[in-house]
Amino acid sequence: MNILNNWKMLELVTRDNEVLVCIEGRVYGNNPRFPSSSHIRTSPVTGYSLDSNSMVVITRRGSEYLLGKPDPSETFAQQRLMRRLSRLNQSGAARFNELESQLTGFGEERGHETARHHD
């Protein structure tokens, strides 16, 4: 599994006002696509798991990254990431169903439209 060190959480907003969370950092591992210590940005994060004190993020493309040390400028990076991902999941987007979240684009400003579609 690839490890991301010196990582930061990025929030991107699409033209449809969908909020996406990506991770940017230095990747370490044996993936031939990324030479060790390459700087990468993941595809949007769709979920995570915790194993003892380690956090693994799962991306829209199905990749998994073990989060190592965050960027020194990012205080409480892991806690902030977990809170942000849980807020996205509470907004109605299914944790591992990127097709659902992409098509419906649940958000505060679109909540009333969504309610009408489900009547």
How high is the pLDDT of residue 36? 78
Domain of residue 84: give its range: 2-117
How high is the pLDDT of residue 88? 78
Is residue 48 within 8 A of residue 85, CB to CB? The reply is: yes
How high is the pLDDT of residue 112? 40
For the record, the structure tokens of 11 come out as: 């929030």
pLDDT lower than 50: segments of the chain: 92-119
pTM over 0.75: no
CA dist 82 → 17, 43, 67, 99 (Å): 21, 17, 12, 21
How high is the pLDDT of residue 51? 80
CA dist 117 → 5, 10, 104, 110, 111 (Å): 43, 31, 10, 11, 10
How high is the pLDDT of residue 87? 85
How high is the pLDDT of residue 89? 72
Classified as helix, coil or strand, 92 is coil
Number of structural domains the chain divides into: 1
How high is the pLDDT of residue 90? 64
